[in-house]
Every structure is written in C-alpha cells, then in structure tokens.
C-alpha cells in the first residue's frame, strides 16, 4: 500500500477470514519505494510469482482544459507506475522462468468518451504496452494478462481528480461536464461489484493457458 495508515480495513478482513495477507509499503511513483518492497519480498521468499498492476486514478476534464502538469501526474501513476513495478520484478521472473503480470486496464482501453481523454489514453497505452510485452516475455515462461473492467463500484469514484479549468463555470465545456456527470451517476447506480473483477483475475491467473484480454 502507498499509505500504510489506510491498512486497518484490509487487516481486519484478513484476520476475520484467516487470510495470510502481508502488507508492505509501496508507492508506484517512487522508485525507491518499489525497489525496497520487491527486495524485501525476494529476500524472504526468493521469488515473485504474480504482479497485479492495479494502481490508478481518473483525471476528469475536457482535453483543452487540462494542464500539462495534470496530464503528467495522470501518466506518472497510470502508466509509468505500472512500468516501474513491472521492470523491477521482471529479472526475478526471468531467472525463475515463470511468472504472471496482470495489468488492470479498463473498458476505456477500447473506446473513448468525452471528458476522459487523458485517462483513456493511459489505458490505451497499457493495452499496447501489455500486448507487446506478452510477445517479449513468452519465451521466458512469463504470461501477461490484461483485465478490462467496466463500471465497478469502487473507491476510484471518490478519488477522481477534476481539472481546475474544467471546474470553472465559464469553461466552454461546462455543459459537457454537467451532461457527463449525470450519465455517470446513472452508471454508478448500476455498477458491478469489485468481487466480479476479483473472480475474473483469479480465473485468469489459475488458467494454464490464459487469454491475453478479459472483459469484466
């Protein structure tokens, strides 16, 4: 977890269900944090069998209203964060000649919608990166899997970052913002459970010959 202060909930669930979950600090935009976490795991276990790249957030805003800094921050987490963690674990997976990398993309990795240009572009990047990696890593016994969730009822909607200019009532895209907000309210009401995605991930990683892509 990036912030260990938020670990009490998962610790409580793990204890209640007697799950052997260990939590360590890892921030995908901090290379030192990633290296420390991976080295701690390798020192204890000698191997890494599975990496799920799940960190990400949504940047909301019409393209013209987005600042370069807002765009860079989105890519730092959604794309470069995935790249950093994957590159750190790959040497160990190559050495053991096995491993699975699961990259959480999105249905938005297949199509665009207004107000989500940069978020969607990060998911398109994940799709292309993952597909290319799959070819490169197959000779080493490493599998790459892309998960493409639809609208899922998670905390991601509570952490949406809205572009500053997009919040301005004088933005030429203010009507678009209102329309999209209404649309998302309806979609969230009918959103799927996170357990649905978890089950798809579990089925994929336990399959001897998994597909490259899974819609969920």
Q: Could you please report the per-residue DSSP string of 114-166?
A: TT-HHHHHHHHHHHHHHHHHHHHHGGGTEEEEEEE--SB-SGGGGGPEEPHHH
The answer to whether 114 and 62 have CB atoms below 8 angstroms apart is: yes
The answer to whether 160 and 60 have CB atoms below 8 angstroms apart is: yes
Measured CA to CA, the distance from residue 46 to residue 39 in angstroms comes to 9
Q: Is 119 designated active site?
A: yes
Of the residues 119, 166, 173, 214, only one is catalytic, namely: 119
Question: What does the pLDDT read at residue 48?
Answer: 98
The answer to whether 126 and 74 have CB atoms below 8 angstroms apart is: no
- pLDDT (mean) for 19-31: 96
Q: Is 192 designated active site?
A: no
Number of C-beta neighbours around residue 39 at 10 A: 12
> Which tens digits make up the pLDDT trace of 135-179?
999 999 999 999 999 888 777 767 899 999 999 999 999 999 999
pTM here is: 0.93
> Which tens digits make up the pLDDT trace of 71-121?
999 999 999 999 999 999 999 999 999 999 999 999 999 999 999 999 999
Of the residues 106, 121, 123, 214, only one is catalytic, namely: 123
Helices (H), the chain: 8-16, 31-45, 68-75, 81-96, 117-137, 164-167, 174-189, 194-205
- pLDDT (mean) for 58-74: 97
Measured CA to CA, the distance from residue 178 to residue 180 in angstroms comes to 6
Of the residues 11, 16, 67, 105, only one is catalytic, namely: 105
Q: Which CATH architecture has domain 48-215?
A: 3-Layer(aba) Sandwich (3.40)
Question: What does the pLDDT read at residue 79?
Answer: 98
Higher pLDDT, 153 or 130: 130
Give me the percent of the chain exceeding a pLDDT of 90.
88
Domain boundary assignment for the chain: 1-46, 48-215
């Amino acid at each position: 977890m990036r912030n260990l202060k938020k670990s009490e909930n998962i610790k409580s669930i793990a204890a209640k269900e007697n799950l052997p979950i260990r939590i360590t600090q890892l921030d995908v935009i901090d290379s030192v944090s990633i290296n420390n976490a991976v080295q701690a795991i390798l020192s204890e276990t000698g191997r890494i069998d599975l990496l799920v790249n799940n960190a990400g957030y949504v940047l909301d805003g019409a393209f013209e209203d987005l600042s370069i800094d807002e765009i860079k921050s989105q890519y730092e987490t959604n794309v470069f964060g995935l790249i950093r963690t994957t590159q750190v674990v790959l040497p160990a997976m190559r050495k053991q000649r096995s491993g699975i990398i699961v990259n959480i993309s999105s249905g938005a990795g297949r199509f665009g919608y207004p107000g989500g240009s940069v978020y969607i572009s990060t998911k398109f990047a994940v799709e292309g990166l993952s597909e290319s990696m799959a070819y490169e890593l197959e000779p080493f016994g490493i599998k790459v899997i892309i998960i493409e969730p639809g609208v899922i009822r998670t905390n991601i909607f509570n952490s949406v970052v809205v572009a500053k200019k997009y919040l301005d009532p004088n933005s030429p895209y203010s009507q678009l913002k209102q329309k999209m907000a209404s649309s998302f309210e309806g979609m969230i009401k009918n959103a799927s459970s996170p357990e649905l995605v978890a089950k798809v991930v579990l089925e994929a990683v336990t399959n001897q010959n998994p597909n490259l892509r899974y819609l969920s």
